[in-house]
Amino acid sequence: MIIEGVIYGKTANGFYVSDSELGKIYVTHQTAANVGDKVKITGVYGITDNMPRIKNVSNVVVTATNQTLPTPEEMTVEQVMALSHTAKTGSYGRYVTVVATIEAGTVNTYLKSDLDNSLIFSSITDLSLIESSKGKRVSIPVILHEYNSQDLVWRVTFAGASGDIVLTPISFASLVTKAMEHINSAVPANIYGALVLPSKHPVISYLSYSWSVAENPYLSITEGLVTVNTDSVDHSITLTVTITNGEETATRTVTIISKAIVQREVGEFVTNKPTMNDSAVILHGVIVAFTRNQSLSLRSIILKDMTTAHTMSVDFAEAGENQILHTSSIFKNLKLGDEVSVRGLFRTTTRQTIYNVNNLDVLSSDNPVSHDKANAYVLNSKE
């Protein structure tokens, strides 16, 4: 087949040509023709992984020079992501300008939006052209090259010159606003003996935080690590965070409540769990079951609130310091129907449970044990 169009992007092993708004395609062929040249191409049309292209090129003839180039459309990364990867026109070869931060990963270099979505630079992009812009928020023209159906991400080509990349920084005031939005979502209003403070923004990598607190008996910060001394009374504590983008700084305050560590019913706890991992808890309930893992290295009790019917597992390991083990007489003496109070840490990651139990008191025994069999989940088969 023979097509004619204007070259609007060129790479080491091919070029992009356009003859209309929707008529854009990649040509797999090295040519001496330049960007802006109108060329007549003889080759074979093909589709590989949904991507249309011209290959097996036998001839490229320049029919005109200094032609008007298509103007890149201004689009967001999110708008690009929403484009159809199965459409034969309107996506592949599309020439767009996006505003994003150029990031370098271990495998790929990519464009990350302010909303944490990414476009990956294609393997045919000359990365030396964008080297000086890495880590910076820029406006950059790119061409949609191919779609990775495994990663569900568009790969784009930068086929321009370094001068086409325009720094587009966010104002520091806007950065501070974004930082505080992140901090307020990451730092809980109430803590229970544990607190991990964020050190940087999860998306804007150059936006970092440092923390301090006035001297007090309940919470201290040393080199970013927080130590919380538990108490049976609530304490209001004001933290100071310094936000910086590497050039400017701003200081803000965050007030949290270091909550009293007191005994809570299972039902109350389940409906108002701590959000911070390894929070200290004292839980009260009746043992209604014993469980164990496949390797027998972990054994658990199931505590139930006999009023609300809420349950929570409490894990006892076979090894570890400063905790009650399932090999101990304290654990072995427990029975169904025991009313207990346990003190330990609440794990929010993976399976939520109480673990690292350091204190257990049996308050009464032989309490009735019941299960809601009417609403139990029914397995289709034992397999």
The pLDDT tens digits of the residues spanning 295-330 come to 888 999 999 999 999 999 999 999 988 999 999 999
> What is the token pair recorded at 43?
């080759």
In a domain, 285, yes or no: yes
Pair (314, 225) in one structural domain? no
In a domain, 180, yes or no: no
Q: Is residue 320 part of a domain?
A: yes
Does 57 reside within a domain? yes
Say if residue 213 is in the same domain as residue 254: yes
Q: How many other CB atoms are there within 10 angstroms of residue 247's CB atom?
A: 8
pLDDT (average), residues 209-237: 96
The residue behind tokens 């370094």 is: 162
How many domains does one find in the chain?
A: 4
Residue 329 domain flag: yes
For 79-102, b/e burial (b = at least 16 CB within 10 A) is ebbebebeeeeebbbbbbebbbbb
Q: How confident is the model at residue 12, as a pLDDT?
A: 85
Q: What is the pLDDT of residue 111?
A: 96
Answer yes or no: do 97 and 124 share one domain.
Answer: yes
- Identity at 179, one-letter amino acid code: A
Residue 315 sits in the same domain as residue 353: yes
pLDDT of residue 375: 83
The predicted structure's pLDDT at residue 48: 86
Domain edge (last residue) among 258, 282, 314: 258
Same domain for 337 and 313, yes or no, is: yes
At 121, is the pLDDT very low, low, confident or very high (cuts 50, 70, 90)? very high
- CA dist., res. 106 & res. 89, Å (int): 33
CA distance 358 to 342: 8
Separation of alpha carbons 381 and 370, rounded Å: 24
Where does the pLDDT of residue 126 fall: very low under 50, low under 70, confident under 90, or very high at 90 and above? Answer: very high
Residue 26 scores a pLDDT above 80? yes
Residues 267 and 351 in one domain: yes
Q: What does the pLDDT average to over 322-349?
A: 96
Provide the residue range defining the domain that includes 297.
263-364
Rounded CA separation 42/61 (Å):
9
Structure tokens at 126: 């000359």
Question: Is residue 113, in this structure, part of any structural domain at all?
Answer: yes
Pairwise CA distance, residues 339 & 45, whole Å: 76
End-to-end Cα spacing for the chain:
60
59 lies in some domain: yes
157-174 burial: b if 16+ Cβ within 10 Å, else e: bbbbeeebbeeeebebee
Q: Which residue shows structure tokens 């390797």?
A: 295
Reported as type and span, the H/E element at residue 180 is helix 172-186
Averaged pLDDT of the chain: 94
> 17, 3, 22, 28: which is closest to 124 by C-alpha?
28
Q: Report pLDDT digits (tens) over 39-70.
A: 999 999 999 888 999 999 999 999 999 999 99
Q: Strands of 249-258's sheet, edge to edge?
A: 190-191, 249-258, 235-244, 208-213
**Non-local CB neighbours of 212 within 8 Å, separated by 6+ positions:** 221, 239, 240, 242
- CATH number, domain of 195, equals 2.60.40
Specify whether 54 is located in the same domain as 103.
no
CA dist., res. 51 & res. 25, Å (int): 9
Does this model's pTM top 0.85? My answer is no
Q: Are residues 112 and 92 in the same domain?
A: yes
CB atoms within 10 A of CB 263: 15
- Residue 125 has what pLDDT? 94
Of 258, 273, 288, which one is at a domain's C-terminal end? 258
**CA–CA dist 261, 108 (Å, integer):** 47
Is residue 377 very low, low, confident or very high in pLDDT (cuts 50, 70, 90)?
A: confident
Residue type, 277: N
Domain boundary residue, one of 237, 258, 279: 258
> What is each CA distance from 230 to 111, 281, 319, in whole angstroms?
44, 10, 25
Same domain, 194 and 147: no
Burial (CB count <10 Å: 0-12, 13-18, 19+), residue 325: middle
State the pLDDT at residue 273: 95
Using an 8 Å Cβ cutoff, are 129 and 161 in contact? yes
Same domain? For 22 and 101 the reply is: no
What pLDDT, on a 0 to 100 scale, did the predictor assign at position 115?
86
Domain containing residue 274: CATH number: 2.40.50.140
- Whether 77 maps to a domain, the answer reads yes
